[in-house]
Structure 1
Amino acid sequence: MVYWFPVVGLCIGVFLCLAYLPLYCFFPSLIADALIVLIFIMITGAMHLDGLADTCDGIWGGWNKEKRLEIMKDSRIGSFGAIGLIGMIGLKYACLLSIGEISTIHSSPFRISIPCESCVTTPVLVNKCVALLIMPVAGRWAQVCAAGISTYARNESGTGSFITKDTTRIQVIFLSVFPVVLFWYFFGLGGFFIFAIMLIFTLGWIWYIKKKIGGMTGDTLGATNEIAELVFLLSLLLLGKF
């Protein structure tokens, strides 16, 4: 199943691009970007955001492994979880607004005119569509990487157990080719810079979670997805500065 994770991410990205085109035509950027963030949350069922909130509550609300895992199973949200959600959604929204101001596209299939009297294809639209296209791929690649390198943290089976137990490091290496090719196609040599940042972050995040709870859970895999998507957007903005 993990072989389909990046492909599913690409399908989600295509849907986001198609949804963003009319939003860009008929609404100001402030509104269009807010709506596409909400659409992204709705089509994924907020599943990964829920994992992010539980991870924030557990990792920073517990004082040992057992307590952290117990808190993460609690369906109620705490202060750390609320802060994590607000920060994640707010930063993704701010990144999308800022991406419209940079020109980092090496090659793009979006060079078309939109049949709308008030808008045509612009660098702003192209930049944001490419970011929306690749962002879900980056997040789901990070999930596979975390599952393949780490182990399952709980003794009993859970949501993420079948993913972590059946994902190997060979699969991680094989699946890494897909995002690398996409990054290279759209951003040229800068794509390797973005991938290097994501790889360093993912390995550091895996090490940190292992230190806190001994491995991955379904919640931490969801958190990995969300944070990796944000890291991709921040890396894209950093690339646009040079």
Structure 2
Amino acid sequence: MHFPSLSGFWSPRRWGADLLEAARLLTRLPLPRPTQPGARASHSSRCYPLVGVGVGLVAGLGFAAADWLALPPFAAALAALTLSILVTGALHEDGLADVADGFGGGRDRARKLAIMRDSRIGSYGVLALILVLAARGGSLIAIAESPAGSCAAAAALVAAHSLSRAGLAPIMWALPQARSDGLAAATGRPGGADALAAAVIGAVIALLLLDLAVTLVAVLAVAVLQGGLALQARRQIGGVTGDVLGAAQQLGEAAVLLVACASLSGGS
């Protein structure tokens, strides 16, 4: 694998520009527009896990604030989920619903892509959202009710948001684009170095927040779920779309939170 030169790939200025572009793509924050739209969109994927840290911090602070107000864990989990959805504009949740409807209801590639583009939501999409939101919220509640408490829930939130986004760049690198338009096409295909950087950043952040064993299991769980989804996307629609990436993030986030929850309930 070829790595860019020190003056390019490792340039702090370029990393800053990529982080800003990534935040513009993955959140609804009022950020300044780039002077050259799309110029570094494909490279920005290496900063997706860093954007995840920001979203996770917002959600974690919401959880901690609810806990400080002596609200029950259910209310704290609801606050955390609501804040993360507000920051991202439900971008990833929308992708999950579209993929569930398209993969579940389409008879062929063209029909699946048409369903995924339709703004209406079907029964598959509703069920997917309910199940994933329940997994995320239920895990947070269980973590908060464990001896580790709300601090562990906040740490798990940051790790989950970061690690789930770390897998998006490898998917974008490994799969062709299923459409010639849309968010994934506009973003472009990252290089192998960008994909590797994103994966490493996400793993390191998770390791700083979770135990080593929990991190290893979480990385494996995210890789299996997101890899399985990527294989399904390749088989059913011929590649990746923005909706597929959104669904991958949701599955990855739920996986990390479930692993963190299981580790605490198991006494580790």
Q: TM-score, normalised by structure 1?
A: 0.85
Aligned with residue 202 of structure 2, among 179, 184, 192: 179
Rounded Cα–Cα distance in structure 1 between residues aligned with 2:252 and 2:206: 14
Are 1:125 and 2:125 matched, yes or no? no
Rounded Cα–Cα distance in structure 1 between residues aligned with 2:178 and 2:67: 43
Aligned to 1:37: 81
Aligned to 1:151: 176
Note the C-alpha offset of 1:18. Answer: 2.1
Query: Larger relative contact order (C-alpha < 8 A, sep ≥ 6)?
Result: 1
Aligned with residue 204 of structure 1, among 228, 235, 239: 228
Aligned to 1:118: none
Aligned with residue 189 of structure 2, among 163, 166, 172: 166
Rounded Cα–Cα distance in structure 1 between residues aligned with 2:211 and 2:161: 19
Q: Could you give the per-residue CA deviations for residues 134-174 of structure 1, whole angstroms, max 9, x where no partner exists?
A: 121122112222112111012x32111133x3312222112
Rounded Cα–Cα distance in structure 1 between residues aligned with 2:73 and 2:212: 29
Aligned to 1:7: 50
Q: Secondary structure at the match of 1:32?
A: helix
Are 1:139 and 2:164 matched, yes or no? yes
Rounded Cα–Cα distance in structure 2 between residues aligned with 1:180 and 1:126: 20
Aligned to 2:63: 20
| Counterpart contact for 1:145–1:202, Cα < 8 Å | no
Q: Which residue identity lines up with residue 141 of structure 2 in the other structure?
A: L
| Counterpart contact for 1:150–1:216, Cα < 8 Å | yes
Q: Which runs of 5+ in 1 are unaligned?
A: 104-122
| Counterpart contact for 1:149–1:168, Cα < 8 Å | no
Q: Which residue identity lines up with residue 152 of structure 1 in the other structure?
A: Q
Identity of aligned residues (%): 26
Aligned residues: 221
Rounded Cα–Cα distance in structure 1 between residues aligned with 2:141 and 2:111: 39
Q: TM-score, normalised by structure 2?
A: 0.77
RMSD: 1.6
Aligned to 1:96: 140
| Counterpart contact for 1:100–1:128, Cα < 8 Å | yes
Aligned to 1:214: 238
| Counterpart contact for 2:184–2:241, Cα < 8 Å | yes
Rounded Cα–Cα distance in structure 2 between residues aligned with 1:22 and 1:172: 35
Q: Which runs of 5+ in 2 are unaligned?
A: 1-43
Rounded Cα–Cα distance in structure 2 between residues aligned with 1:102 and 1:20: 15
